[in-house]
């Protein structure tokens, strides 16, 4: 594991996490959400990073964080076409 230290003014740290000992988790969630948004982390990596148990729990976290999959209608059409080719339908 890598440990990262940051310095925050005490008043801001208190507002970001209550109780204060949860600040590490708040920061970890922010990094996970931004990593997913930027494409640097996968869904599975976010799940592992946060110690989440299921895909659904990870989906719920990402939704709360506003970190949505960049998946267009064109992507959906492409996936449907590939699915039909594979299944012969």
pLDDT digits (tens, 9 = 90+) for 40-61: 999 999 999 999 999 999 999 9
29: nearest Cα among 10, 14, 12, 16: 16
DSSP E strand boundaries for 4-87: none
**Residue 23: inside a domain, yes or no?**
yes
**Residue 60: inside a domain, yes or no?**
yes
Structural domain boundaries enclosing 40: 10-87
**Residue 46: inside a domain, yes or no?**
yes
Please give the tally of structural domains in the chain.
1
- The arithmetic mean of pLDDT across residues 73-89, rounded, is 89
**pTM of the predicted model as reported, rounded to 2 decimal places:** 0.74
- The arithmetic mean of pLDDT across residues 14-27, rounded, is 84
Q: How many other β-carbons are positioned within 10 Å of the β-carbon of residue 83?
A: 10
Annotate 40-71 with b (16+ C-beta within 10 A) or e (fewer): ebeeeebbebbebeeeeebeebbeebebeeee
pLDDT digits (tens, 9 = 90+) for 62-76: 999 999 877 788 888
**Residue 4: inside a domain, yes or no?**
no
**Residue 30: inside a domain, yes or no?**
yes
61: nearest Cα among 17, 37, 29: 29
């Amino acid at each position: 594991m890598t440990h990262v230290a940051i310095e925050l003014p005490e008043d801001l740290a208190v507002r970001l996490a209550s109780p204060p000992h949860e600040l590490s988790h708040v920061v970890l969630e922010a990094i996970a959400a931004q990593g997913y948004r930027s494409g640097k982390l996968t869904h599975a990596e976010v799940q592992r990073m946060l110690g989440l148990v299921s895909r659904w729990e990870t989906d719920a976290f990402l939704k709360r964080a506003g970190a949505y999959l960049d998946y267009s209608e064109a992507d959906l059409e492409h996936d449907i076409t590939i699915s039909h080719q594979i299944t012969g339908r």
